[in-house]
Every structure is written in C-alpha cells, then in structure tokens.
C-alpha cells in the first residue's frame, strides 16, 4: 500500500509500470544477483551461464578483473588478487590483524582507521573492492533485464554490526546503486522459503557461509516475517574450516608459519579441496606442492576433519541455544530448521545441527542461491511491482547498543533483538559542579565493559549551562532505521543544547573519503556533471508531481478542504513550472516548498491507512480477554 503511487519518470500515463529491481547476495566466497521475472524470482547468469560470481577481484596489468578470471590469478599473482573481502568490511586495522596471519596481502601504513590493501592499482579499501563486485553484478543485471535498475536490496549477515552495514551501503553508493534496503541474509532465505511453501509458524534459519554465521528464529504469519531473535558470529564460516585444515596440512607437511603468500594460497586451495571432497568421501588424498617444487602427500579422513572443525561447530550451537532463549521459544515449538550457506554442505554441520534441534534440517533449497532469491522478491515488492503484496519483514537489531558510563561500564540503551526501526532515549547527568561538556561514547556489544565492546563513535556535547552536579538532564536518543543503521542525537533538556551525529566513524569512511572516491570514479564519465544534476532534479520533480497527482486523484477530495486543496495545487504548479526551466536550485526549492506544504496531507493519508488497517475491530472484542500468555 504505497502512500503515493509513483510512475517511472517520462511514463506518466502508466503508473503501474514495472520497475527493474534486483536482489544481491554479496557473499564472502561467492556473490549472486537475482530478479523477479514473470512472477518468479531467479538468479541471473553471466554470458557463460555461470550464476555464482566468485567474490574475487584481481588488479591485473590489463585492468580490474572480477570473478572467475580473477580467481585464476590467485596463486600466480596473490598480492594483487583479493578474495573474502567481506571479512574486512567495516573492520579496523587492529581487527584485521587479529583475524589471523593468513591474509596474504600487504597493507598500506595509513593514518586512517580503515585498512587499505596495496595493489598495483594503488591502495584500495574493502569498500572499493566490494564496489567492484557490485558493479559487475549490476552490469549483469542490466544486461539481462535490459535497462537501468531503479533499486536493489543487498543482503548482509544478520549479525553484522553498524560499521559493517554502513561499509556495505558505502560500497553500493560507490558502485552507483540505489539501495532500497539492506536485508538480513537469514530473513532473505526465509522469504524464499516461506513464500515457496506458505507455511505459518516458527522457523529457524541456520546460515553458515564462507565467512559469517547467522542463526535467526522467526515467526511467519500470513506473509508477515517477524524475526524474534537473531544471533551468530560475523567472523566465523567455511573459511575457518579451511584454515584449521590448512593448519593440519602445515603440521603434517612441515611447512613453517612464515611461508610465502603463494604457498599460503596453495595451502588454502588444498584445504578447501579436501573439505569439499570429504562431503562425499570418508577419506581423501591431499597433495601439496612445496616451495622446492617437491610434492607432499597425505591422507585426511572424516574423523580427523571432524576433530578439527568440531570446536568451530560448537560455537554455532552455542549461538543457537542463546538465540532460542532470547526468542523465548522451546526447541519443540520450531516447525523446521532451514540450512543456508555453502558451508552447511559439510555433513558434520548437518549432523550437529540436527542433533541440537532434534530434527532433520531442511536442505531442499540450493543453499547458495536462496538468499539472493529472497532478496529479489523483497526488491520487487519495494519497487512497487507487487502492489497487492502482503509481505512484510519485521527485523531486529542483532547487537545491543549502549553508552559508556563512569568507570568504563556500558549502559545499554537498546538491547539486542529489539524490533527495528526503533527510537529510544536515555537520560544522563553531569557529575561535576559547573561541568559544561560531556563526552558521549557509543558502543555495540553484549559485554559489561566498554573495552570488550565495539566502539562505534565518540562525540561531544558542549555548551551545557553550568549547574551543580546532577542537575543537568542530558537526553541521548538512539535511532535505528529499517536497515539497522544507527544515528544518535543528544540534548540537554533544561537549555535545549543539541548535538547530533550519524554513526559512521570508528571504522567507516568519512563522507569526504566517499565523495572523493565517487568523484574519481565518475571523472571519466562523459556527461557534464551540471547537466546531470539538472536531469536528476527534473526527474525528481516529475516523480513528485506524478506521485502527488495520483494521490490527490484517490483521496484528495475526502481528505482536503477546498482551501487546503488550492494551497497544494499552487505548490504543485510552481514545481511543474520550475521543472520546465533549467535552474537546478529553483526546482529543488519548489520541491521543498511542496513537500513542507503537503506535510499535513501525507500525515492524514497515513492515518487513514492505519484506520483502514484497524477497520472491523472494536475494543469490545478484547474486553473479555482473561489470560495473559506472557
């Protein structure tokens, strides 16, 4: 039920024109793009018929290579070939170092908090690398769908924190994509699965990918997907299985820890190969070419593999237990457990998950493509192509958000598993007489001490009027939007002193950095930038005009008095007139005027929408209710 039905610019007569939209699964190991065509959501192949795009970028002498071509260069040009970049998204340099010594690239020494990898094309950040993958998928989608995408849904692990989500959104911006929504991967899988099967009830989605692990418990009721709790580990996945197997090979073959990048690549390759072979066989022969070109050969059997990976699987089970408790759900209440992500192909994972949930996990859907398929369905609905669609996703924030208080303790403001969007305020006070400034430190995590949580941002509230200790009332409001992104606002209530920040610092890119990247990436584009801005502004204006006219046609007469209507029409006409001219500022201004002039109308429409949703119910239906099931 879009409030204002909007048509494609230039297609004013066809308000229900199909908009091209896609779902993107930006994975650690592989990425996919999917779209709804003729009512069915399907992943889109490249020219060679491959659906999976390996998430690998190679900065070669001839230019940037993506996917299979890049993958081929992994062992021959390891320093310029980057894989599993998702593990570095939104991470600081210190985090990256702690991920392990297996990373074969060289990092630039830099003042910035974001790690930059040295390549022959210069130093690149994880956001830029991810943007290359997104650009490639965008092109694939535009080629197969035959037009520019109006928007995309990009999936992220449910357990991604704020910095990791922001980094993903930055990458999309850099790739020139309009993001309708960041969608949690297990929720995307649930859409694909739920809409297929149409089963109401409580479901668990166990999603073990290349580098991330999520567990989500959600309730499906007539098209509404309500996430009850989510848990996981944003640095745990099939890559870790490979690492422990690689460790075993090193030990068996007598390879030292400081082996060069090429040997490390071979090790990872051999490890992955062995892991994959053992999904079918009980034992496999591992062959490893050593530095002196001699070959080492050994046998790895399933029992040894299981011993190696059991500690990692145990971590996933612990997270499942915790998530069930957060959801206040007993194992018996769960209808089924859906397995998502390539790493759920490992038999030991299925066995352990089955043991824990006391039922055979569902593996009927291709675990690689299910996330992209669900994302495409959501994108299609958000684009307005499915106006009667009842589907609604109610997701949660995966990690508690809090503030540092005295003694390095964390005061939680929004606990984990709170349904988003959410706005919540907390009051603080000064602890010294005459204190005029207060530092605010925002953290994310479950631990009690600030040092054990992830630092998201610091900012300072100044100009607090001097008062005795404890007299000031500082109200800090956290807002988390539907993408799970946080913004914070602080105000001293007795004086009205205000400070507000968008959270994108500690490990994110600054707005300037993004702007620089954007400018450098469009520098080669031929369009005159001013002309482009004008075009965009005109398109915006037409969009607003269309939308408003459509809305007025539906309920303008019911909701507006003649005077009010005349006022809106006047604003509308000035937008129409300005859009014919080529003054960008004037158009912008006219749109602004119109939007503020229509504010009350928008509000009335929304209220009418709620009323409609509530129609058919009365208070008396509930007056006799006796029991409190909570």
Partner 1 sequence: MAAGKVLQSDLPLPMLDLSKNYFELFGLPAEYQVEIPALRDRYRELQGAVHPDRYATGSDEEKRKALQAAAYVNEGFDTLKNPLLRAQYLLSLHSINMELREETTKDAAFLMQQLEMREELEALRHTGEGLDSVGEFMDRVSGMIKALVSRISVDFETPSKENLDDARETVRKMQFLNKLYAEAQAVEAQLEEEFG
Binding mask 156-185 for partner 1 (x = CB under 8 A): ------------------------xx----
Which letter does DSSP use for residue 527 in this model? S
Concerning whether 25 is annotated as a catalytic residue, the answer is yes
383 forms part of the interface with partner 1 (CB under 8 A): yes
Active-site residue identified among 8, 25, 77, 242: 25
The residue (of 297 and 596) whose beta carbon lies closer to partner 1 is: 596
DSSP output for 42-88? EEPP-TTS---EESEEEEETTEEEETHHHHTTTTTSGGGEEE-GGGG
The residue (of 65 and 383) whose beta carbon lies closer to partner 1 is: 383
CB of 3 to partner 1, least distance (A): 5
Which member of 287, 392, 522, 525 binds partner 1 (CB under 8 A)?
A: 392
Query: Torsion over CA of 603, 606, 608 and 610, rounded to 10 degrees?
Result: -130
Residues with Cβ within 8 Å of 513's Cβ and at least 6 positions away in sequence, in order, are 112
The residue (of 528 and 603) whose beta carbon lies closer to partner 1 is: 603
Which member of 85, 202, 340, 598 binds partner 1 (CB under 8 A)?
A: 598
118 φ/ψ angles, rounded to the nearest 5 degrees: -75, 125
Candidates 93, 53, 87; CA nearest to 71 is 53
The residue (of 203 and 265) whose beta carbon lies closer to partner 1 is: 203
The residue (of 83 and 378) whose beta carbon lies closer to partner 1 is: 378
Which member of 3, 281, 469, 471 binds partner 1 (CB under 8 A)?
A: 3
Contact call for residues 129 and 117 (beta carbons, < 8 A): yes
CB of 170 to partner 1, least distance (A): 20
Largest CA distance in the chain: 89
Which member of 381, 549, 574, 578 binds partner 1 (CB under 8 A)?
A: 381
Footprint on residues 568-597 left by partner 1 (CB under 8 A): 595-596
Footprint on residues 188-247 left by partner 1 (CB under 8 A): 221-222, 224, 226
User: Tokens 């060289």 identify what position?
Assistant: 106
Active-site residue identified among 46, 128, 132, 185: 185
603 forms part of the interface with partner 1 (CB under 8 A): yes
Footprint on residues 529-548 left by partner 1 (CB under 8 A): 544, 547
Binding mask 293-322 for partner 1 (x = CB under 8 A): ---------------------xx--xx-xx
Footprint on residues 407-436 left by partner 1 (CB under 8 A): 412, 415, 418-424
Concerning whether 536 is annotated as a catalytic residue, the answer is no
Q: How many Å separate Cα 606 from the centre of its chain? A: 28
The residue (of 358 and 462) whose beta carbon lies closer to partner 1 is: 358
Around 384, how many Cα atoms within 13 Å sit in the side-chain half-sphere?
17
Stretch that binds partner 1, among 79-87, 385-393, 464-472, 565-573 (CB under 8 A): 385-393
Candidates 53, 54, 63; CA nearest to 140 is 53
Around 456, how many Cα atoms within 13 Å sit in the side-chain half-sphere?
29
The residue (of 73 and 543) whose beta carbon lies closer to partner 1 is: 543
Which member of 360, 366, 390, 577 binds partner 1 (CB under 8 A)?
A: 390
Contact call for residues 489 and 481 (beta carbons, < 8 A): no
Candidates 552, 196, 577; CA nearest to 377 is 196
Residues with Cβ within 8 Å of 113's Cβ and at least 6 positions away in sequence, in order, are 92, 93, 506, 507
Which member of 17, 446, 513, 582 binds partner 1 (CB under 8 A)?
A: 446
73 forms part of the interface with partner 1 (CB under 8 A): no
DSSP output for 433-482? TT---EEEEEEESS-SBGGGSEEEEEEEE--PPP--TT---EEEEEEE-T
Binding mask 18-57 for partner 1 (x = CB under 8 A): -x--------------------------------------
Burial class (CB in 10 A: 0-12, 13-18, 19+), 360: exposed
The residue (of 261 and 421) whose beta carbon lies closer to partner 1 is: 421
Concerning whether 86 is annotated as a catalytic residue, the answer is yes
CB of 181 to partner 1, least distance (A): 7
629 forms part of the interface with partner 1 (CB under 8 A): yes
Which member of 123, 142, 481, 569 binds partner 1 (CB under 8 A)?
A: 481
The residue (of 466 and 609) whose beta carbon lies closer to partner 1 is: 609
Residue 95 corresponds to which tokens in the numbers above?
Answer: 């985090």
458 forms part of the interface with partner 1 (CB under 8 A): no
SS3 sequence, 361-399?
A: CECCCCCCCHHHHHHHHHHHHHCCCCCCCCCEEECECCC
How many residues bind to partner 1 according to rule CB under 8 A? Answer: 75
Active-site residue identified among 8, 46, 77, 86: 86
User: Tokens 């699965």 identify what position?
Assistant: 193
Concerning whether 207 is annotated as a catalytic residue, the answer is yes
Candidates 386, 344, 388; CA nearest to 366 is 344
627 forms part of the interface with partner 1 (CB under 8 A): yes
452 forms part of the interface with partner 1 (CB under 8 A): yes
User: Which active-site residues does the annotation give?
Assistant: 25, 86, 185, 207
């Amino acid at each position: 039920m879009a409030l204002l039905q909007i048509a494609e610019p230039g297609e004013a007569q066809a308000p229900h024109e199909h908009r091209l939209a896609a779902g993107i699964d930006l994975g650690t190991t592989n990425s996919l793009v999917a779209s709804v065509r003729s009512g069915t959501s399907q992943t889109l192949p490249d020219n060679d018929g491959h659906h999976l795009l390996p998430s690998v970028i190679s900065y070669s002498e001839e230019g940037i290579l993506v996917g299979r071509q890049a993958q081929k260069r992994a062992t021959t040009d390891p320093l310029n070939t980057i894989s599993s970049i998702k593990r570095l998204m939104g991470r600081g340099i210190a985090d990256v170092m702690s991920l392990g010594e297996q990373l074969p690239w060289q990092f630039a020494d830099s003042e910035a908090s974001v790690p930059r990898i040295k390549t022959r094309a210069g130093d690149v950040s994880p956001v830029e690398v991810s943007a290359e993958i997104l650009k490639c998928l965008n092109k694939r989608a535009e080629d197969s769908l035959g037009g520019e995408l109006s928007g995309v849904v990009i999936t992220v692990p449910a357990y991604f924190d704020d910095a990791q989500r922001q980094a993903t959104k930055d990458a999309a911006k850099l790739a020139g994509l309009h993001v309708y929504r960041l969608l949690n991967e297990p929720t995307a899988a649930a859409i694909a699965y739920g809409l297929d099967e149409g089963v109401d009830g409580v479901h668990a989605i166990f999603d073990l990918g290349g580098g991330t692990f999520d567990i989500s418990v959600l309730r499906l009721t007539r098209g509404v997907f309500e996430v009850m709790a989510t848990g996981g580990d944003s640095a745990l996945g099939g890559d870790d299985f490979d690492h422990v197997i690689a460790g075993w090979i090193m030990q068996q073959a007598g390879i030292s820890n400081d082996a060069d990048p090429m040997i490390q690549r071979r090790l990872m390759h051999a490890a992955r190969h062995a892991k994959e072979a053992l999904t079918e066989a009980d034992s496999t022969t591992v062959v490893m070419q050593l530095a002196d070109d001699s070959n080492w050969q050994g046998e790895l059997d399933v029992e040894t593999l299981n011993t190696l990976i059991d500690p990692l699987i145990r971590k996933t089970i612990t997270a499942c237990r915790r998530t069930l408790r957060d959801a206040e759900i007993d194992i018996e209440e769960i209808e089924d457990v859906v397995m998502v992500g390539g790493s759920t192909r490992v038999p030991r994972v299925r066995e352990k998950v089955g043991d824990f949930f006391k039922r055979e996990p569902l593996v009927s859907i291709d675990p690689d493509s299910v996330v992209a398929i669900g994302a495409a369905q959501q994108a299609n609905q958000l684009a307005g192509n499915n106006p009667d669609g009842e589907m609604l996703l109610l997701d949660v924030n995966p990690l508690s958000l809090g503030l540092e208080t005295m003694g390095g303790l964390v005061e939680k403001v929004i606990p984990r598993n709170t349904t988003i969007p959410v706005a919540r305020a907390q009051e603080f006070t000064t602890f010294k007489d005459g204190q005029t400034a207060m530092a605010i430190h925002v953290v994310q995590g479950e631990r009690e001490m600030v040092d054990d949580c992830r630092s998201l941002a610091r900012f300072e509230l100044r100009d607090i009027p001097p008062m005795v200790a404890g007299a000031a009332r500082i109200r800090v409001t956290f807002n988390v939007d539907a993408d799970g992104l946080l913004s914070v606002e602080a105000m001293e209530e007795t004086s009205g002193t205000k400070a507000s920040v968008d959270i994108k610092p500690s490990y994110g890119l600054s707005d300037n950095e993004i702007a620089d990247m954007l400018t450098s990436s469009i520098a080669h584009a031929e369009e005159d930038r001013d002309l482009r801005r004008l075009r965009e502004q005109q398109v915006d204006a037409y969009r607003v005009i269309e939308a408003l006219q459509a809305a007025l046609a539906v309920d303008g007469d019911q909701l507006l008095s003649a005077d009010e209507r005349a006022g809106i029409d006047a604003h509308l006409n000035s937008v129409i007139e300005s859009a014919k001219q080529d003054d960008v500022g004037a158009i912008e201004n006219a749109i602004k005027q119109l939007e503020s002039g229509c504010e009350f109308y928008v509000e009335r429409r929304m209220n009418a929408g709620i009323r409609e949703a509530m129609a058919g119910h009365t208070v008396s239906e509930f007056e006799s209710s006796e029991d409190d099931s909570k």
